[in-house]
Structure 1
Amino acid sequence: MNFHGILVPIVTPFHDNLSLNISGLAKLTEKLIDSGVTGLVVCGTTGEYYALNEEERKTVLMTVSKVAKGRVTLIAGINDLSTEGAINRAEQAKQLGYEGLMLSPPPYSLPDQQGVFAHYQKVASSTSLPIIMYNFPARIGIEIEYDTVVKLAEIDNIVAIKESSGDFSRALRLLQTSFENFEVICGCDDQPVDFFFWGARSWIAGSGNVFPVEQVAIYEASVQEDWGKAKQIMNEIYPAIYSMESGNYNQKAKAGCFKSAFKVGPVRLPLTNISDSERDEFLSLITIEGK
């Protein structure tokens, strides 16, 4: 599974009546592929996985797979409140042709580190697919602590961690750890140049729905060690990314899809749509001069 480069947790388009927009999802998948991204994460947080029923979830996974299979890397988000639920979602992803999985600790239950380890160990033992762990304590309520990451990295099909804590000191410690066949992925949209400078080779970015071309260019500049160019592009998109990271992330990812040129509709409850004034203020940040 190649996950080096930009992987976009794709938004799920809805019609105004909140039904799935399947044709819109297929077109968005095609546009992201054309933008040069390495892969797509389907049914992730940015895709509002928690607001999909099981039939809709299957439809979303199948739609993206039909368009993208064999063209980019396909990763399925398999978060669930229970370990057994995550195992079932891993099996579904494999049956639908996905190459990898992304998994956080279970939300709400607040497991201790022994429970976190056992959760990942059991899911990993149930599937042959590679797993990217997802550390996002602001959403999940607990952290995958450093020592737990080190232990889990020894499991063959746990291959990476998406680090979204926002704590770059923690990220740097992980990046400087001598793992075998395990990588640290940037999961903070305001820190990719820092991650790439210290050796990360992947960025999983919900803001990739807004700036896929620019984010691919940042990655390519980093590969060439052209840090001046990487910083320049990051400076251009940073105001919008800062706005997203400051609140209403999913709503802004949808409002700004392809710099607002591609319409993907509203969000579903429990999220509510941003006001017209907040939307206009955000959209004023995503027009890059000369582009």
Structure 2
Amino acid sequence: MFTGSIVAIITPMTNDGNIDKVSLKKLVNYHLKSGTSGIVAVGTTGESATLDHHEHIEVIKLVLEYADGRIPVIAGTGANSTTEAINLTKQVENLGVKGCLTVTPYYNKPTQEGLYQHFKVIAENTELPQILYNVPGRTGCDMKPDTVARLASIKNIVGLKDATGDLSRVYTTRRLVGDDFILLSGDDVTFLEFLLLGGNGVISVTANIAAAQMANICQLAFDGKGEQARRLNDDLVSLHNHLFIESNPIPVKWACQRLGLIAEGKLRLPMTVLTENSQSIVEKALKLAKLI
């Protein structure tokens, strides 16, 4: 269920800052047609940090409604407060999501023991499968492979999204957690090598705008066709890099609007619109990816 190209879907917004339901439905249908393996709703790319709790749950419900059981939906339910993370998890338990993506606590910088206790308590308060999310570049907190291994012994902690970009961790973590634990890349730049080293999939920003290409690359990698996968991925390398030329999801939202996937590229403060200089760079990457 949690394999292949899983999109970290954006949350489209209207110019007045409300959730753009029409564009969100259009995005879900785009992924259904493109072979995307799953959707993460309200992760980092979905601007979870600027949505209030009501909106957070509303977006998850909308994605589930539009997906209508045709593609697995994973809910972003992380928080830097353990109590808040449990509360969000409880709110999605009976909605139909297939699991939760739970980020390491940001800002308060817990110890490795604090991380272990945080995720352990969340898992003990739900039956939903839990995917750990390690993204130290955003959170200032790095969950080490030994801690992941401790958590992997908990029944409903089933996987890890690793956004460190450190490919040595694929081998190290796999050796510690065994073959049944799911390892997902959270770094589009290195995701293909991650898969070829034994990873199970990617939770991708690039898949927002190159969904079919990302799905095809994953399938080629799984089929042992690494060279074909590399050739296809070569077209996306510039895109993988330049979708982070400014803070995610600023560039990918602009690109979604540029490609007509959403009506507006609106973001909420403190995120601001992609600068003109960066727009020309992302535009060039879109051309190299043969998307325009």
| TM-score above 0.5 | yes
Q: Residue 76 and residue 289 in structure 1: after superposition, are their counterparts in 2 closer, same or farther (change >3 A)?
A: closer
Q: How far, CA to CA, are the matches of 1:215 and 1:259 in structure 2?
A: 19
After superposing on structure 2, the runs of 4+ consecutive aligned residues of structure 1 that deviate more than 4 Å are none
Map of 1:23-172 to 2, 5 A cutoff? 23-172=22-171
Q: Shift of residue 249 of structure 1?
A: 2.5
AA aligned opposite 2:172: R
Query: What residue in structure 2 maps to residue 189 of structure 1?
Result: 188
Q: Secondary structure at the match of 2:256?
A: coil
Partners of 1:245 and 1:191 lie apart in 2 by 13
Contact 1:117/1:152 (CA < 8 Å) preserved in 2?
yes
Which position in structure 1 is the counterpart of 2:242? 243
**1:267 aligns to what?**
267
Please give the secondary structure, in 2, of the residue aligned with 1:199.
coil
- Pairs aligned (count): 290
Deviations 1:166-220 (A, max 9, x none): 2222233223445153121111101122111111121110111021111001011
1:198 counterpart residue number: 197
| Matches of 2:278 and 2:291, distance apart in 1 | 24
For 1:81, what is the secondary structure of its paired residue?
Answer: coil
Measured against aligned partners, the alpha-carbon deviations of 1:129-166 in whole angstroms (never above 9, x if no partner) come to: 00000011111111111111111010010001001112
| Distance in structure 1 (CA, Å) of the matches to 2:182 and 2:257 | 29
- 8 Å Cα contact 1:133/1:162 also seen in 2: yes
CA contact (8 A) 2:6 2:36 kept: yes
Q: Which letter maps to 2:51? A: L
Distance 1:274 1:112, change over 3 A: same
SS of structure 2 residue aligned to 1:188: coil
Work out whether residues 104 and 134 of structure 1, in 8 Å CA contact, stay in contact via their aligned partners in 2: yes
How far apart are the structure 2 equivalents of 1:24 and 1:290?
Answer: 19
Could you tell me how far apart the structure 2 residues matched to 1:101 and 1:84 are? 15
Amino acid at match of 1:16: N
Instruction: Work out the CA distance in 1 between the residues paired with 2:80 and 2:168.
Output: 29
Q: Which residue of structure 1 lines up, in the alignment, with residue 285 of structure 2?
A: 285
Percentage of pairs with the same residue:
29
Q: Measure, in 1, the Cα distance between the counterparts of 2:19 and 2:172.
A: 41
Q: Secondary structure at the match of 1:50?
A: helix
Q: 1:170 to 1:195 in 2, by over 3 A?
A: same
Structure 1 segment 207-226 matched on structure 2, within 5 A: 207-226=206-225
SS at 2:202 equivalent: strand
Structure 2 unaligned regions, length at least 5: none
- 1:1-16 equivalent positions in 2, closer than 5 A: 2-16=1-15
Q: TM-score normalised to the size of structure 2?
A: 0.94
Cα 1:258–1:17 change in 2 (3 A) is closer
TM-score, normalised with respect to structure 1: 0.95
Distance 1:179 1:65 in 2: 32
8 Å CA contact retained: 1:163, 1:188? yes
Distance in structure 2 (CA, Å) of the matches to 1:125 and 1:178: 19
Q: CA RMSD in A?
A: 1.7
The answer to which of 17-26 and 124-133 deviates more is 17-26
Q: CA–CA distance in 2 between the matches of 1:89 and 1:169? A: 33
Displacement of 1:246 in angstroms is 4.1
Higher alpha-carbon deviation: 174-183 or 144-153: 174-183
3-state DSSP of counterpart to 2:138: helix
The reply on whether 1:276 has 2:270 as its aligned counterpart is: no
